[in-house]
Structure 1
Amino acid sequence: MKISTNWLKEYVSLEGVTPLQLADALTTAGLEIEGVDPVAKGTNLVIGEVLTCVPHPDSDHLNVCSVEYGEGPTQIVCGAPNCKTGIKVIVAKVGAELPDITIKAAKVRGQESNGMLCSLRELGVNEKYLTEAQVNGIEILPEDAVVGNTEVLKYLGYDDVVLDASQTPNRADCMAMWSVAYEVGAVLRREVKLPNCENTSNTGSKTTLKINSTSEKCPHFLGKVIGNVTVKESPKWMIDYLHAAGIRAINNIVDISNYVMLETGQPLHFYDLAKMPHREITVVDDVELKLTALDGIEYDVQKGDLVITTGGEPTGIAGIMGGDDSKIDETTKGIIIETAHFNHVSIRNTSKRLGLSTEAASRYTKGLEPLAQNKAMDRAVQLLIELADATNLEETVEFGSSNYKPVQVTETLEHCNKLLGTNFELTEVVEVLKALNFNPTVNGTAITCTIPSYRTDILIPEDIDEEVIRLIGYNRLETTLPTMEATAGQLSHRQLLRRTTKATMTGVGLREVITYTLVKSQFVDEAVLPFGEHIHLASPMSEDRKYVRNNLMQSLLECVSYNQARSATNVNLFEISNVYEKDIVQERVGIILSESLQKSKLHKIEIKSDFYTLKGLLTVWLDKLGFNSNRITIKENTLDTKHFHPYRSATIYLQNELIGIFGEVHPSLVKEWDIKPCVYAEIIFDCLVQNKTQKVKFAPLDRYPSVSRDIALVVEQNVSAQSILEIIQKVGKKLIKSTEVFDIYQGDHVEKGYKSVALSIIYQANDHTLKDEEVNEVHQEILKTLESNLNAKLRG
């Protein structure tokens, strides 16, 4: 927001306050001023008159001028093509300092020159507001300009200084000069006087204008017909204020619409009445069409974009830019005024998609105050009557309403001081709230504020406290040490499990990655272990960052693809991150292994990154977390065969709770990502956090020898090795130290439909040396149970 200090003086006194002091005061109060820039610069300037102008004897383009500015005729050499005898000019005397030059007495091709005749460009005035003649030549002043006047910049209206304010997201009100004036008045404790225009628009004869909206994104709309206006140049003060704000002046009608927008923060649009024969305006959001806007560019409007229509035909992109067909020009005799409230998210999305950023769009995007439409209409009508000879006014038509109810917030002095850590008196707090126009009423130490409509950011007592401290000053905060209880530093349960996870994964050679949380639709639609409704961003940065992810698989596959495409080998990664669905946050661990987990050519060692390697890694990791193999169950994967190979994947359970899925990535997915075969696991870390881990217990080293028995069992093909191990463990649990499957065979010497499972069983007692009879008894019981339960027979 560009803030003209001259314009600001129209509303609040700045006497005794320099622009730099004002910038410091506003910045301290929270409205950050990023620049303090004069509209024009120049010292030692004076208004002069060219008495004579003759060609330079040694130049084909220079002139030797005799100039009078109250100190007697002075010779100045000038090269401007529009210099001539009898004109009033701006003279920079010897010693004058201009933005790019210091004026010195000199000889120009043998002729003395004691000063310079200036153009506005040479005084630092922005070229975009100057005509071609002003850019290429010196400034010719009106005939009534007083020769010898040294307040040249003031005479020209360029003695202004512009503050460049950076708006914080919560202070949308500071996009309006009136609200800025209230802010300055509060900071300086000075009275603010705004133009008295309330209810100015509540006049006019009966109208035939009809206003309507078929979209809930436009709940409030005002329209007014003014039958007669005069199109002419705006007064200089308005042109200067618009230029200071960064807006080019066009004509008085268009300039009034821009001026009112800058004053009130409410964008408004004027339509040429003659180009609106239907006298009807409807806001819609369900059309697809092409529209040529005021900038002469054709835009593609899509469904969801707000569009202004008349007679079923589009006449503007709502809240962003009007159409070219109804623009104001020198032939305009009457106008229709439009002020409306449009949904800020809709305007932001349309503006971003079309790449069309306008002053109006920026204000709608940040949000408007609820009474802005009425204020803008009143002020526009007032200025049109004063500056455009407006007559033949018709009554104002309104669709919907602002539904404005003043917000009241109550705060107590005790709570305010406790929260801020201050000892403010009631009188100084009330003084601040009065300066802010909050209309405080006091009941004991309770203060009830009625918040003005333009301060939409004030909703709760803490907002009041923030206003108090920023205006009284943060320097009133005493330097104190924080009060905190001494506590023993330790990791939370989740932090401990997370740290153990990272140590385990990195210890076997995996690298941790952190991938982007915002993803494209494919990533959430192709989710592993989905658990809810997707979260779609209201205003995404791009199509590829439109959703908040609900799984880690696609992100890790993308990492592998990126690295392998750049000739990286043995890409083994893990990530611990949150995934999201609507109202649900879930922490997960993703692990992906490709090619080899570990490899040494020197020692001829290689651990392939396959299903069994991943299974071993998971069981070791879970054991380190405190979940031993007795609590972990691995089952055949029937849950997801779209992302995983149906015969080389499994689900994993902690007791009876599903905690994850792992296995070989489905070949179709491997092909889609153009990567080498890999294995992947996704574990719901929250499930691990929520379950109790075993306590570490001391166990002495084994003192007694163990006995090993190997058996080979023939079972039906559909009998799992896990079911065999469970029976062995159950029957011989007192003496079984461990069991291990070391071979599974199908083929010759094994009947079709059957398989041979070879196991090694270790027997050991904690308190004595086992005897053969004792081991044989348990061993036979195991074989007997296996035969009765699984029809398992010893292989001959």
Structure 2
Amino acid sequence: MLTSKKWLSQYLDLSDITPEVLADKLTTAGNEVEGLEKMAQGSNLIIGKVLECVDHPDSDHLHVCKVDLGDKVDTIVCGAPNVAAGQKVIVALPGAKLPGGEIKNGVIRGIESNGMICSLLELGVDAKQLSEESKNGIEVLGDDAVVGDRDPLHYLGLDDTLLDVGLTPNRNDCLASWALAKEVGAILHRDVQLPECEGAANIGVPTKLKVSSETSKCPIFLGKVIGSVTIKPSPKWMQELLHAAGVKSINNVVDISNFVMLETGQPTHFYDAAKMHQEIIVKDGFDTTYTALDGVDYKIEPEDIMITTQGNPVGIAGIMGGDDSKIDEQTKGIIIEVATFNYVQVRNTARRLNITSDAAVRNAKEIEPMAVYKAMDRCVQLLIEYADASLIEETAQYGTNNYVPAEFTVNTDSINHLLGTDFSEDEIMTELKWLDLKPEKAGNDIKVSIPSYRTDLKIEADIAEEVIRLIGYDRLPSTLPTMSMTVGALDNRQAMRRRIRSMYVNMGLNETETYTLVSQKHLDHAILPITPAVELASPMSEDRKYIRSSILPSMLDAAAYNNNRSIKDLAFFEISNVYAKDVVEERLALVMNGLMHKSRWQKMSVPADFYTIKGLIETMLSQLGYEGSRVSIKENKLDTTHFHPYRSACIYIGKELFGIFGQIHPQMAKDFDVPKELVMFEGKLDVLLNNKPSKVKYTPISKYPAVTRDLAFVVKEDVKVADIVEAIRKCGRQIIKGIEVFDVYTGEHVEKGFKSIALSINFQSDEKTLTDGEINSVHEKILAALKAELDAILRG
């Protein structure tokens, strides 16, 4: 919320309060002032008159000016293209300090120059508020400017300080300068005098204007015909205040519409009466393209609210009017629109259309129920005074707000109990009076009546909050919390999370922390998603609309970011929660590409491929106590949309799915702009917590020699190597210490539909040296078992 000290001074006396003190008071009371900025800056300034202006003899663009400063005439060299004799101008005298630096006497190309004739840009005025003429040259003052006046900023209305107030979500009322003035008055304990305009709109002859709504998204609509207005510049004070609020002055009628919105917080809209019909209807259900006041064509969806006349849209309700009914220099009469719209729908429409108009900002929040009437009254009052409004018709109204002021009782003891304070009843009553809550004693309680603009005050706790923020948080007593001593320790989840992080960091992976809020695309590409998805009621953008139900899509964004910056070797992991309605799961995800390790000196490298990521997962599970028969890897038939159907697998803990890993599907790689060789994994850490890990057992290394035998079998192509390994292991668990597959072959000398599997089996006992007979006995069992179970034939 952008306001200024001068604007607030319209309603209460702030003559003895500096902008810095005002900002500090507002911030202490919970309305954080995020910035202070002077509208213009400059010391040692004076208004002068150019008596003579001639071209510099040694320049094609400089001018030598004789300037009357009131008490003397000085020579100033000026490069502005618009400087001319007879103008009244702003002069920075030697020693003046401007945003660009200090002004000093000097000699410019042989001619002495004693100061500088200033443009508004050189005084630090925001360029967005200036015309092209003001941007490109010095500022020429009006005939009423007094030569020798040493406060030209006051003459221009630029002797003001802007306050950027960061409002909390519950204080939408302070978007209105009237309500903000009430807030400042309550903080400073000063009387606030708002303009008297109540009932100003209760005039007019009978009207033919009809207003109505065909949607529940517009419960109340006021329309009023002003048959005659005069289009002319706004009064200087109004232009200055609009300028301070960041609103550019256009003409008196348009400025009044903007000014009333800033005063009351209620957006209004003025239509050129000659371009409208006598019936205005609010509708939704349109599916069209509409040209708004800014000249941009917007795609209107059926849920958007539109203002219509004779079935044709003339404005996007609550956001922006149309180009075909705007006020211009030929306007003779106007129709005033003041209405209440569904703020959720206005917010959704404004966000989708990317419109951040002042009206949209206010209509996207809940506006006080009486604002429509306040705004209509103030519009009529100002139009009569500054636009010569006449031929006024009575107000046409659709709907009603059924407003009844909220009243309830609070208790001094209860407030003190909530706050931990010992405020007296008189102290509380005093603050409630300044808050305009009209407190009255009711026995041991205090009855309060809530003004219409304070829609955030609903219960006693809200009143307690108001009391403490006005009296001051420094009045809270200092106490030490009472708590029992506990032994610090990690629970199972924290311990597991810490071990996994430490494990993967030690293996050379980098941990990522990606954003929890994601787009529809990320939701559609979720791995092992949980549903239904959680959609934010008020997302910051379409890219941050949902709470994610999977980590991998966000990590793929990080991978794409690195890959596009020539960082090809990636090894990431992340531990994070994913969400659905009433469901929270903790997940682990890995993303790898390129080489995990490499040494050019040793001519060694470890590719980040299917087997590497498989090994990382198995190593982690092993160190956590999940290995052997408890862990099984099966063909991936669950998700072949995001994973390569022939280069991915599912991993189970017992019979429970832990996760999916493998190479990314080529189409998904294209969608996320990552290499198609990238491998990834996402798993559910809750599965590990739900299964009790085995204790990790350590056994001494056998001191007896080992014997290795290599075998090659021919089996059908659909036989899994894991089944072969398990069949071998069952034949001699006591002495078979290791089984390694070192070759898989299909082709010449192997029948079509079959493959050759070569394995190396390590035999070793912990108790003695094995004899050939003992090894041969197990060897024969292996051959028999493989023949019987898998129809495996020993290859010669």
- TM-score normalized with structure 1 length: 0.79
Structure 1 pair 794/371, CA: closer, same or farther in 2 (3 Å)?
same
Q: Residue by residue, what CA displacement relative to the aligned partner does 1:711-746 show, whole Å, maximum 9, x if unpaired?
A: 87776654544445556777877x577563546767
Pair 1:310-2:313 in alignment = no
Name the aligned partner's letter for residue 624 of structure 1: Q
Separation (CA, whole Å) in 1 of partners of 2:675 and 2:525: 17
Separation (CA, whole Å) in 2 of partners of 1:577 and 1:745: 39
Contact kept? 1:619, 1:629, Cα under 8 Å: no
> Following superposition of structure 1 onto structure 2, how do residues 8-407 of structure 1 map, counting pairs within 5 Å?
8-14=8-14, 16-33=16-33, 34-35=35-36, 37=38, 76=73, 83=86, 137-141=140-144, 158=157, 161-170=160-169, 171-284=171-284, 286-291=286-291, 293=293, 297-303=295-301, 305-344=304-343, 346-347=345-346, 351=350, 357-402=356-401, 404=403, 406=405
Contact kept? 2:635, 2:649, Cα under 8 Å: yes
Separation (CA, whole Å) in 1 of partners of 2:132 and 2:786: 103
Name the aligned partner's letter for residue 35 of structure 1: L
Q: Residue by residue, what CA displacement relative to the aligned partner does 1:37-85 show, whole Å, maximum 9, x if unpaired?
A: 4779888989x9x9x98999x9998679797xxxxxx66569985749x
Deviation at 1:291, TM superposition (A): 1.5
Contact kept? 1:533, 1:582, Cα under 8 Å: yes
Local SS of the residue matching 2:577: strand
Structure 1 pair 395/769, CA: closer, same or farther in 2 (3 Å)?
same
Deviation at 1:527, TM superposition (A): 3.0
Pair 1:686-2:686 in alignment = yes
1:110 equivalent in structure 2 = none
Separation (CA, whole Å) in 1 of partners of 2:541 and 2:773: 72
Pair 1:578-2:577 in alignment = yes
Structure 1 pair 489/32, CA: closer, same or farther in 2 (3 Å)?
same
How many percent identity over aligned positions? 42
1:511 equivalent in structure 2 = 510
Structure 1 pair 11/693, CA: closer, same or farther in 2 (3 Å)?
same
> Following superposition of structure 1 onto structure 2, how do residues 602-681 of structure 1 map, counting pairs within 5 Å?
603=602, 605-667=604-666, 669=668, 673=673, 675=675, 677-681=677-681
> Following superposition of structure 1 onto structure 2, how do residues 405-416 of structure 1 map, counting pairs within 5 Å?
406=405, 413=412, 416=415
Deviation at 1:624, TM superposition (A): 1.1
Q: Residue by residue, what CA displacement relative to the aligned partner does 1:81-135 show, whole Å, maximum 9, x if unpaired?
A: 5749xxxx999999998979999999xxxxxx99999999999998957997996
Local SS of the residue matching 1:469: helix
Separation (CA, whole Å) in 1 of partners of 2:320 and 2:597: 62
Structure 1 pair 741/459, CA: closer, same or farther in 2 (3 Å)?
farther
Deviation at 1:658, TM superposition (A): 0.8
Separation (CA, whole Å) in 2 of partners of 1:118 and 1:644: 67
Contact kept? 1:715, 1:793, Cα under 8 Å: yes
Local SS of the residue matching 2:681: strand
2:60 equivalent in structure 1 = none
Contact kept? 1:763, 1:775, Cα under 8 Å: no
Separation (CA, whole Å) in 2 of partners of 1:561 and 1:375: 54
Separation (CA, whole Å) in 2 of partners of 1:590 and 1:54: 77
Structure 1 pair 54/639, CA: closer, same or farther in 2 (3 Å)?
closer
Contact kept? 1:211, 1:221, Cα under 8 Å: yes
Separation (CA, whole Å) in 2 of partners of 1:38 and 1:566: 43
Contact kept? 2:46, 2:69, Cα under 8 Å: no
Structure 1 pair 648/43, CA: closer, same or farther in 2 (3 Å)?
closer
> Which has the larger displacement, 415-424 or 223-232?
415-424
Deviation at 1:762, TM superposition (A): 5.5
> Which has the larger displacement, 442-451 or 549-558?
442-451
Separation (CA, whole Å) in 2 of partners of 1:591 and 1:760: 32
Local SS of the residue matching 1:529: coil
Contact kept? 1:305, 1:350, Cα under 8 Å: yes
Structure 2, unaligned runs of 5 or more? 58-62, 77-82, 107-112
> Which has the larger displacement, 133-142 or 395-404?
133-142
Local SS of the residue matching 2:467: helix
Contact kept? 1:591, 1:681, Cα under 8 Å: yes
Separation (CA, whole Å) in 2 of partners of 1:104 and 1:502: 63
Contact kept? 2:45, 2:152, Cα under 8 Å: no
Separation (CA, whole Å) in 2 of partners of 1:54 and 1:712: 107
Contact kept? 1:75, 1:114, Cα under 8 Å: no
Separation (CA, whole Å) in 2 of partners of 1:411 and 1:770: 89
Deviation at 1:178, TM superposition (A): 0.8
Local SS of the residue matching 1:630: helix
Name the aligned partner's letter for residue 511 of structure 2: E
Structure 1 pair 446/591, CA: closer, same or farther in 2 (3 Å)?
farther
Structure 1, unaligned runs of 5 or more? 68-73, 107-112
Deviation at 1:355, TM superposition (A): 6.0
1:470 equivalent in structure 2 = 469
Q: Residue by residue, what CA displacement relative to the aligned partner does 1:524-556 show, whole Å, maximum 9, x if unpaired?
A: 323322332445566666665555443333444
Q: Residue by residue, what CA displacement relative to the aligned partner does 1:185-208 show, whole Å, maximum 9, x if unpaired?
A: 101112333234334434444433
1:71 equivalent in structure 2 = none
Structure 1 pair 431/777, CA: closer, same or farther in 2 (3 Å)?
farther
2:79 equivalent in structure 1 = none
Q: Tell me the matched-pair count.
A: 769
Contact kept? 2:218, 2:282, Cα under 8 Å: no
Local SS of the residue matching 1:694: coil
Structure 1 pair 687/45, CA: closer, same or farther in 2 (3 Å)?
same
Structure 1 pair 608/220, CA: closer, same or farther in 2 (3 Å)?
same
Structure 1 pair 506/36, CA: closer, same or farther in 2 (3 Å)?
closer
Structure 1 pair 92/729, CA: closer, same or farther in 2 (3 Å)?
closer
> Which has the larger displacement, 393-402 or 716-725?
716-725
Name the aligned partner's letter for residue 187 of structure 2: V
Q: Residue by residue, what CA displacement relative to the aligned partner does 1:456-487 show, whole Å, maximum 9, x if unpaired?
A: 34455544343222211233234444544433
1:109 equivalent in structure 2 = none
> Which has the larger displacement, 651-660 or 468-477?
468-477
Deviation at 1:287, TM superposition (A): 3.5
Separation (CA, whole Å) in 2 of partners of 1:53 and 1:557: 70
Q: Residue by residue, what CA displacement relative to the aligned partner does 1:635-654 show, whole Å, maximum 9, x if unpaired?
A: 22211223333333221111
Contact kept? 2:351, 2:541, Cα under 8 Å: no
Separation (CA, whole Å) in 1 of partners of 2:395 and 2:433: 34
Contact kept? 2:253, 2:383, Cα under 8 Å: yes
Separation (CA, whole Å) in 2 of partners of 1:707 and 1:117: 97
Separation (CA, whole Å) in 2 of partners of 1:117 and 1:762: 98
Contact kept? 1:65, 1:78, Cα under 8 Å: no
Local SS of the residue matching 2:629: coil
> Following superposition of structure 1 onto structure 2, how do residues 594-605 of structure 1 map, counting pairs within 5 Å?
594-600=593-599, 603=602, 605=604
1:552 equivalent in structure 2 = 551
Deviation at 1:182, TM superposition (A): 0.7
2:525 equivalent in structure 1 = 526
Deviation at 1:502, TM superposition (A): 2.0
